[in-house]
Amino acid sequence: MKAIEKGLITPEEAKRLTWDNIVKILTTPESSTKEISINISGRGIELDVVKKYLDELGDKLETYSKKK
């Protein structure tokens, strides 16, 4: 799990992850799984940037999960 490899959470914390915790991890700048980051990669913006702009607008990022 990339979050453990990057030191964002411990293996013990990974066992108890909630959906809210997952979203919090995904919206941190350190959560990118890209090996190399360049300005012209064309991959769009990361979720942390989306969350930052929504926060500035007084809105929030809402997520949900649907099991298949």
Domains of the chain by residue range: 2-56
pLDDT of residue 49: 83
Beta-carbon count within 10 A of 37 CB? 9
User: Where do we find the tokens 């809210």?
Assistant: 20
pLDDT tens per residue, range 17-58: 988 888 888 888 777 666 555 555 545 567 888 888 889 999
Do 23 and 33 form a contact (C-beta atoms < 8 A)?
Answer: no
